Structure formats: C-alpha cells, structure tokens
C-alpha cells in the first residue's frame, strides 16, 4: 500500500511539474517579459552578454530577441513593463519610438540569412490586445511574403495617414494599417503629429 501511495504521489508531482512547465513556456502571457527582465537584461548588465537576446540596450530601453517562429523572425521589446498597444506609456514623449528602433534592427535578418534583404521585403507588425498571446509589447521584425507585398502595394493609395482597417482582408484577417515613416526617429505611430 505504501508503494502505491508513493507512486501516486510521484505521478501527481510529475503531472503538476509538467503542467507548470507547459504553462510557463507555452501559455504564459508573461513569458516574453520574463525572458527580457529575468534573463537578457541581467545577463547584459552583469556579464556583458545579451543571451538569450541578440542585443540588449539598457539605456535605450529595448532588446532584440530571435523569435522561435521562422528562421528570420525577430522581436523588438522594451526593457520595462509595457503591456501592448493600449499602454498610455506609448503616448509619453520620453518613450522611445520602438517602431523606429525595430526598423533599425532589421539588419539582424540579413545577418542571419547571409545576404542583404531589401527594405521592401521587410515587415514590422504588432498584435492587438485581442490578437496576442503575450502581455509584453513586442514588434515583429520579419520578411513579408511576395503575395502580401503585392496586395499592400495595390492598396497603398487607399491607406490613410490614420490607423484604419486595411481595404479588404489580408489573408482572411482584418488589419489596421497606415503608411510608416521608419526613417523618422521622433514620429512614433502611437502619437499624432
């Protein structure tokens, strides 16, 4: 009877540990924040090693992280708590222009690929509050598929200077779009003007 009790306890502990591991690494909405604040930032500050991030810029307030999805996908994230596009911090003048910083980080894709990637093939994207699994602001730096680039080029004249739904769906999903000004460090997409 004792062996059965120990076996049952061991099974419960294993199942609980697996559940915690699954939650921590697949369903944890704070996983990216934990990577930034508990690994990348401390490693850079204490050991001058950004791992597991590709780059950590504490004074500038951001990290660049290789996304596990896709061979050339990277994420740019703040080094402090900003949940997402709904955060009022994004409207503050002192908040860095994370879109501009993400555009500057596009070279990581070329470096990983081994060849230059033209700017016209680069995409910056951010998920809405309802469309994301993580509660830490992160901008996707990736390549855009040629068919998506063609659709965007065709819709360019109908894209306003304000955030508006992209004319027609893009691959069956609705997106808000506006022309970017990635070369302008001061003009962030969250603040008017």
Residues in the chain: 193
**Does residue 80 belong to any structural domain of this protein?**
yes
Q: Specify if 25 maps to a domain.
A: no
Closest CA to 58 of 83, 77, 32: 77
Distances (CA, A) of 8 to 1, 15, 17, 44, 76: 11, 11, 14, 43, 45
Q: CA-based angle 116:119:125, to the nearest 5?
A: 120
Whole domain around residue 166: which residue ranges? 31-177
pLDDT in tens, 113-169: 999 999 989 999 888 888 889 999 999 999 988 988 888 888 878 777 777 788 777
The answer to the question of residue 130 being in a domain is: yes
Biggest CA pair distance of the chain: 76
Chain-centre distance of CA 192, in angstroms?
Answer: 23
Express each pLDDT in 15-36 by its tens digit. 333 333 444 445 899 999 999 9
In a domain, 21, yes or no: no
CA distances, 167 to each of 35, 67, 175 (Å): 36, 29, 9
Phi, psi angle pair for 90, to nearest 5°? -65, -20
Is 193 part of any domain? no
Number of separate domains in the chain? 1
Report the CATH number that the domain containing residue 155 is assigned in CATH. 3.30.428.30
């Amino acid at each position: 009877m004792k062996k059965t009790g120990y076996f049952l306890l061991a099974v419960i502990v294993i199942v609980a540990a697996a559940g915690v591991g699954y939650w921590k690494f697949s369903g944890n909405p704070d996983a990216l924040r934990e990577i930034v604040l508990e690994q990348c930032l401390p490693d850079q500050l204490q050991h001058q090693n950004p791992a597991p991030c590709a780059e950590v810029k504490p004074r500038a307030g951001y990290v660049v992280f290789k996304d596990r999805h896709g061979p050339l996908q990277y994420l740019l994230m703040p080094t402090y708590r900003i949940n997402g596009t709904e955060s009022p911090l994004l409207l503050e003048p002192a908040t860095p222009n994370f879109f501009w910083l993400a555009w500057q980080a596009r070279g990581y894709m070329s470096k990983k690929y081994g060849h230059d990637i033209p700017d016209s093939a680069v995409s910056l994207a951010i998920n809405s509050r309802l469309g994301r699994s993580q509660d830490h602001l992160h901008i996707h730096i990736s390549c855009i598929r040629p068919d998506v680039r063609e659709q965007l080029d065709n819709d360019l004249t109908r894209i306003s200077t304000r955030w508006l739904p992209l004319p027609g769906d893009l691959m069956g999903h609705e997106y808000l779009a506006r022309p970017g000004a990635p070369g302008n460090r001061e003009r962030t997409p969250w603040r008017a003007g």
